[in-house]
Amino acid sequence: MKPPEHTATPGNDIADPVARPDAAAKCAGTARYLADLAVPGMLHARTVRSTRPRARITSRRLPPLPAGFFVVEARDIPGRNRIRMLDDDWPFFAEDIVNHIGEPILLVVGPEAEATAMIASRVIIEYEDLPPILSLDDALAGLAPPLYGEDNCFAEYSFHKGDLPQARRAARQMVKDGFSTGFQEHLYLEPQGVLAVPEAGRLTVYGSMQCPYYVKKAVEQAVGEGRHHVRIVQTVTGGAFGGKEDYPSLLAGQAAVAALKSGRPVRLVLDRTEDIAATTKRHPSRIDFTTFLDENDDLLGMDVDILLDGGAYSGLSSVVLQRAMFAASGVYRVPHLHVHGRVLATNQVPAGAFRGFGAPQAFFAIEMHLENIALRLGLDPLEYKLRHALRRGDRTCTDGLVRGAVRLPEMATRLCEAAGYPAKQAAYTAGQGRYRRGIGLSLCYHGCGFTGQGEELIQGTIALHKRADDAVEIRVAATEMGQGAQTVLPKIVAHSLGIPLDQIHYENPDTDIVPDSGPTVASRTTMIVGGLLREAALDLKRHWQSGRVMDIRRTYHHPPHIHWDQEHFRGDAYPEYAWGVNVVEVEVDLLTGLVRVIKIWAQFDVGAPMDERTLRGQMEGGIAQGLGYALWEKLEVDDGRVQQQRIRDYTIPTFMDMPPVESGSVYNPYEFGPFGAKGAGELTLVGVAPAVAAAVQQAIGCPVDMIPVTPEMILRRIRNRKHAKPDSEIPPESSPRSRSRADT
Amino acid sequence: MVTAFRPVTLNEALAIRRTHGTVPLAGGTDLMAAAPSCSPGRGESSPSIMFIGHLTELRQIRMEQGEWRLGAAVTLADILDHARLPAPLRQAVADMASPAIRNVATAGGNICNASPCGDTLPFLYAQAARVLLCDSGNRRELPIERFIIGPGKTALRPDELLTEIVFPAREFVVHRHHKVGARRANTLAKLSFLGLADMDAAGRLSDIRLTFGSVAPTVIRAPQLEQRLCGLPLTEMKHHIDEISAAYDGLIQPIDDQRSTREYRKQVCLNLLRWFLEELIA
Ligand SMILES: Cc1cc2nc3c(=O)[nH]c(=O)nc-3n(C[C@H](O)[C@H](O)[C@H](O)COP(=O)(O)OP(=O)(O)OC[C@H]3O[C@@H](n4cnc5c(N)ncnc54)[C@H](O)[C@@H]3O)c2cc1C
């Protein structure tokens, strides 16, 4: 659906789709992924992993190693055995203690992949078990010694707005609600892999990744700062979804150390089971609300408590928590607010970055909570939500200013009309028979760019290099990982310069060539990196001299009106927001608990699309991944072990599961984004789960307070309701939830 | 390195089987998925394999003397394409895997793999199918429930191949197949239910077959319980539903695993059974 306002860009519209430059090779199978790369003399590495959730290693017994085979472990690391991240607590290799099943202990390296795997399978590690922390409940009970610091807490924050105690006193009603969400696995098609190549005085690491400069810093820390010139080159990356933001740093450090030890190139490619069992996941969450309503039933105050399960190492957890907290009150105006959040450590696979980065958990919770309040009050959820939705000029939860126009009301109204929401909302509540329908709605936003002080800390820098033949090279660290950066960024430059697209070149980043424009995360690539490219291109255009080599650099700074106080979490947590509305209709088979998604309607405000088809890819892909998160993607960790270890066991949706999707965008340009663009990559996933859950809740007439909403859970809820008192209705007080298998 | 044989005839295949043992590979969709890192033969003991999927003798679909005879290497896609084969079989196959897998996966492979969640098995049990087993000198026939001994275990001898699957060409007026999986394609059943029934002119149940897949080491079918229902006027069925359901409740003993729970599997089996019986009445 192309809104009429699009003619705002005169002539050849930037939104008109162009052929993806990366598509032909990927479709033809000629794209060379990391596992396709082989260089002369290359060795293969295979990881020996912990089989215990928490233990002291008492011995490592190696089988006899044939000539040319060797191991690499913590003591081989010339630099620091800590991955460079926000907080350096995560070792490349376990030293004497292991903290999760799947944690790398050592690499077996050798000239032949199969023999290497065979030897690795014969390494015997002996352990002395330590009391593990196997769940959030364990972590809360605090019986085992802490994994991290003294309180076992990777991060804890809180912030206030208004005067919540005063709201509590003035309130007419109080509503409590609690929600929980599970792990999610990225399941990018290409498993993680790196190839480290040592050369005299120089070390190059090739890899499937999102953030070449994160990897560079991690490798430098592993091999010893300043001792080698470290160069990172991104290879064709077959999907990432956040999973290649943090973990490639670990793999690259390991392979680099192995390459230095042997003086030979070393390739480390995970197989699918290793990738599922050992790499990062989306943080499981528990979110509790105590909300106060005034005499008009309006939102007066809200007390939100967020608990995230961080797994064994802190990784990026503190920022994930911040994003979750800044989404805690959703798109709503809440005058009096208190948000408290913690990430606890557990002896499970580490949680990390995943498309949405804390926001999907928070939006699932706040949207279900608002839905429940509206239903309890006997009001239409759409009306109730819109009544409280932020408008231009309002203050955000952190007291930032909503500067852009908020087009949620018209987006939601139009969408609900298309979906027949009001009539279905009314009709489906009284469903009969075996198959029951339900319809659900969600409103969401996604803060574009890094959370809080991130953009200011990173100060992303880009370069344009004009060659003598007047072709222009884009030099950024932003990676193409399937999302379309190589389609969109060249269009921004070509349109700014007014030259044909085929005159723009944008290769996979090589840190010897590109400056650090920051990681490819946080819905920042088009808006922040693309914005810098547009400025640089306009500059280049002004000074353009045909036939001359020219270089232009630009470094990001927030627009001057953006203020942020990191200590008190006060001000503009993001420079700008992208908005979304989802409506989902489902049908539940009460005999089996199976949910069929009948249709999804979605509208997004991403400022201005830079390529309609690429945006469609983000919309449909984000919705598919959001549906998986809501319904099918069950990942259980029992006694520290990931239960779904194979691609067939972890059920992402297939084409057969995908409903028709009717999606579109509204034009609402952001002054500081290139051609008005904001972020689009994460937004499309964020609001799906609550719309699905609200629809299922209506269909079955029982509360849905956790995702994924499995058929097992649906049948259990229905049965429990039959046994419960007849007056129990939506929404009940939050019930204690345990993450045991029986509850999923 | 893996040694692979590619015989040209069934006889040649049986001779190779006799002298070398070897693992028969029909479509390879179970073998490949089971092998470490998805390459059969990788690992310590690299057994040899023998391709049999191409053998024309094993690719026939015939009707003879009122019985269907499916060659062991008939693919799932062949079954779907063959419009005269019984609808419940074709429906079970349509719910299996995905088009690419169905193009190579075979009927014989699904049986010999003997998985509790093999999706053609409930139909074969319901139809009292037999399997034809050949070695280079002899052939023997076994009822399906005697061929499949337990998860991954069959009565196949090391020198035999399964060559044909035989079942009566008998259609039922009522047939209901329900595969319950985590998603709609490429998924193994959490449980499955197949009900077949016929009525006579007097409104009595003349034949009924009830099978449950994925809820026990092998398919559950209880002919003695079915017998008790035969001859029952449909009008009286409602008085028996509780009793039938209780009887099957005792038989269905599923497990908890990463795919689902014992409780769910059992409850849904019983729900689907009840629904089937209630639908018969209606
Ligand atoms: C993605 C995917 C999805 C799947 N989905 C389903 C599903 O929905 N439902 C389901 O039931 N299965 C499913 N399967 C499993 C598999 O496809 C089926 O079991 C299939 O029918 C096996 O046939 P095949 O020819 O590929 O067997 P193969 O892998 O070739 O063989 C399986 C076993 O049988 C033996 N064997 C094969 N033929 C003979 C013979 N003639 N004589 C003696 N031994 C023999 C082999 O030695 C091996 O032990 C799926 C598999 C995959 C990979």
Interchain CB distance below 8 Å, B183 and A271: no
Res A722: pLDDT = 78
CATH number of A358-451+570-739: 3.30.365.10
**Residue in the structure block whose two tokens are 């010999």:** B112
Tell me if B113 CB under 6 Å of ligand 1: yes
- Which of B43, B187, B256 has its CB closest to that of A651? B187
Cβ neighbours of residue A673 closer than 8 Å, sequence gap 6 or more: A448, A526, A527, A530, A531, A576, A607, A608
Q: How would you class A585 by CB atoms within 10 Å of its CB: exposed for 0-12, middle for 13-18, buried for 19 or more?
A: buried
- What is the C-alpha to C-alpha distance for residues B26 and B8, in angstroms, rounded to an integer? 14
Q: Look at the block and give the residue holding tokens 């270890």.
A: A645
Restricting to A residues 436-475, those with a Cβ less than 8 Å away from any Cβ of B are: none
Please count the residue pairs, one from chain A and one from chain B, whose beta carbons lie less than 8 angstroms apart: 62
Number of residues that make up chain B: 282
Q: Which residues on B lie below 8 Å from A117 (Cβ)?
A: 37
Atom of ligand 1 nearest to the CA of B76: 21
Q: Does the C-beta of B31 come closer than 6 Å to ligand 1?
A: yes
CB A556 within 8 A of CB A459: yes
B30 close to ligand 1 (CB < 6 Angstrom): yes
As a whole number of angstroms, the distance between CA A201 and CA A188 comes to 34
Which pLDDT does position A174 carry in this prediction? 97
- What is the ipTM score, two decimals? 0.95
Interface probe with A: pick from B2, B183, B193, B273, most Cβ of A within 10 Å: B183
Say which residue the tokens 């912030």 belong to.
A159
* B275 contacts in chain A (CB < 8 Å): 434, 591
Nearest to B183 among A434, A591, A651 (CB): A651
In B38-57, the residues whose Cβ lies within 8 Å of chain A are 42-44
Cα–Cα distance measured from residue A579 to residue A694, given in angstroms and rounded to the nearest whole number: 19
Chain A nearest CA to B110, separation (Å):
17
Structural domain boundaries of chain A? 23-31+460-555, 33-357, 358-451+570-739
Q: How confident is the model at residue B218 (pLDDT cuts 50, 70, 90)?
A: very high
Do the beta carbons of residue A674 and residue A534 sit within 8 Å? Answer: yes
Q: At what angle do helices A711-723 and B262-281 cross, to 10 degrees?
A: 70
B37 touches chain A (CB under 8 A): yes
Angle (CA) A13 A16 A22, round 5°: 130
**Domain at A23-31+460-555, CATH class:** alpha beta
Nearest to B183 among A591, A653, A715 (CB): A653
How far is Cα A238 from Cα A481, in angstroms, rounded to an integer?
A: 6
CA distances from A309 to A50, B15, B161 (A): 20, 59, 52
pTM: 0.95
For B245, counting Cβ atoms within 10 Å of its Cβ (0-12 exposed, 13-18 middle, 19+ buried), the class is: middle
Q: Decide if A96 touches B, using CB distance below 8 A.
A: no
Residue A219 tokens, joined: 């490798």
B179 CA distance to ligand 1 middle (Å)? 18
Residue to mutate among B264, B270, B279, with most A CBs inside 10 A, is B264
pLDDT at res. B36: 64
Whether B131 lines ligand 1, by a CB cut-off of 6 Å, is: no
Domain ranges of chain B: 4-168, 174-281
For residue A6, the model assigns a pLDDT of 39
**CA distance linking residue A374 with residue A379, whole number of Å:** 5
Whole-number pLDDT of residue A431: 86
Domain spanning A33-357: CATH 3.30.365.10: yes
Rounded distance between C-alpha atoms, residue A56 and residue A37, angstroms: 37
Give the Cα separation of A476 and A684 in Å (integer).
25
Provide, as residue numbers in chain B, all residues whose Cβ is less than 8 Å from the Cβ of A114.
42
CB A408 within 8 A of CB A672: no
Task: Round to whole Å and give the CA distance between B129 and B119.
Answer: 14
For B43-86, give the DSSP string. SSS---EEE-TT-GGGS-EEEETTEEEEETT-BHHHHHH-TTS-
Ligand 1 centroid, distance to A275 Cα (angstroms): 26
CATH code for the part of the protein at B4-168? 3.30.465.10
Distance, in Å, from the CA atom of A648 to the CA atom of B30, rounded to the nearest integer, reads 12
Mutate to test the interface with B, among A47, A118, A589, A712 (most CBs of B within 10 A): A712
How many CB atoms are closer than 10 A to CB A128?
A: 11
How many other C-beta atoms lie within 10 A of the C-beta of residue A98? 26
A228 DSSP 8-state letter: S
Instruction: Give distance in angstroms: CA of A351 to centre of ligand 1.
Output: 36
Separation of B188 CA from ligand 1 center, angstroms? 12
Q: Whose CA is nearest to atom 4 of ligand 1?
A: B97
> In angstroms, rounded to a whole number, what is the distance separating the alpha carbons of residues A688 and B62?
50
DSSP code, position A146: P
- C-alpha A101/C-alpha A122 separation (Å) is 17
pLDDT surpassing 60 at residue B95: yes
Query: What pLDDT, on a 0 to 100 scale, did the predictor assign at position A721?
Result: 86
Q: Strand pairing of A472-475 and A661-666? A: unpaired
User: Residue type at B93?
Assistant: V
Classified as helix, coil or strand, A530 is helix
Residue type, A41: G
Where do we find the tokens 């001779």?
A: B15
- Provide the b/e sequence for A245-256 (b: ≥16 CB within 10 Å): bbbbbbbbbbbb
Judging contacts by C-beta atoms under 8 Å, the chain A residues touching residue B184 are: 654, 656-657
List residues bridging with A589 in a β-sheet.
A435
Q: With the CA atoms of A256, A257, A262 and A268 taken in that order, what torsion angle do they form, in degrees rounded to the nearest 10?
A: -50
Question: Over the stretch A398-407, which tens digit does the pLDDT of each residue have?
Answer: 999 999 999 9
User: Which amino acid is it at B166?
Assistant: V
List CB contacts (< 8 A) between B98 and chain A. 654
Q: Determine whether the interchain pair A114/B42 forms a contact, defined as Cβ–Cβ distance below 8 Å.
A: yes
In angstroms, rounded to a whole number, what is the distance separating the alpha carbons of residues A189 and A427? 41
Distance B232 CA to ligand 1 centre (A): 39
Chain B residues whose beta carbon lies within 8 Å of the beta carbon of residue A716:
263-264
What sign for the dihedral angle of Cα A644, A649, A655, A656? Answer: negative
CA of B213 to the centre of ligand 1 (A): 16
Q: Mutate which of B268, B274, B278 to disrupt the A interface (most A C-beta within 10 Å)? A: B268
In chain A, which residues have pLDDT < 50?
Answer: 1-11, 726-744
Instruction: Go through A564-575 and write b for each residue having 16 or more CB atoms within 10 A of its CB, e for each that does not.
Output: beeeebbbbbbb
Q: How far apart are CA A501 and CA A487, in angstroms?
A: 10
Distance B106 CA to ligand 1 centre (A): 6
- Dist. CA B221–CA B145, nearest whole Å: 10
pLDDT of residue A1: 41
Partner B contacted by A310 (CB < 8 A): no
Residue of A nearest to B33 (CA): A648
Torsion sign across C-alpha atoms A277, A708, A710, A703:
positive
Residue B258 is nearest to which of A114, A594, A643, comparing CB atoms?
A: A643
In the beta sheet, which residues pair with residue A307? A286, A342
User: Are A33-357 and A358-451+570-739 in the same CATH fold?
Assistant: yes
- Residue listed under structure tokens 């052939």: B139
Tell me the fold of B174-281.
Answer: Enolase-like; domain 1 (3.30.390)
| Residue B67 CA to ligand 1 centre (angstroms) | 24
Question: Per this entry, what is the length of chain A?
Answer: 744
Show the tokens assigned to A719.
């049965």
CA distance B47 to chain A (A): 16
Beta strand segments in A65-139, E: 70-73, 97-98, 104-110, 124-129
Question: How many angstroms separate the alpha carbon of residue B1 from the centre of ligand 1?
Answer: 23
Query: B13: Cβ below 6 Å to ligand 1?
Result: no
Between CA A130 and CA A57 the distance in angstroms is 10
If contacts are CB pairs under 8 Å, which of residues 123-162 in chain B contact chain A? Answer: none
CB atoms within 10 A of CB A96: 10
User: Tens of pLDDT along B142-196?
Assistant: 999 999 999 999 999 999 999 999 999 999 999 999 999 999 999 999 999 999 9
Q: Are A687 and A580 in contact (CB under 8 A)?
A: yes
Beta-bridge mates of residue A306: A287, A341
Provide the pairing of β-strand A70-73 with A55-61: unpaired
CB B45 within 8 A of CB B33: no
Cross-chain Cβ contact A651/B180 below 8 Å? no
SS3 B209: strand
- Residue closest to B183 by CA, chosen among A408, A708, A497, A57: A708
Q: Are A285 and A180 in contact (CB under 8 A)?
A: yes
Ligand 1 neighbourhood includes B108 CB (under 6 angstroms): yes
- CA pair distance A463, A505, nearest whole angstrom: 12
Q: Which A residues, 624 through 683, put their C-beta within 8 Å of a C-beta on chain B?
A: 632, 634, 636, 643-644, 648-649, 651, 653-657
A723 inside 8 A of chain B by CB: no
Most informative mutation of B2, B20, B29 for ligand 1 (most atoms within 8 A of CB): B29
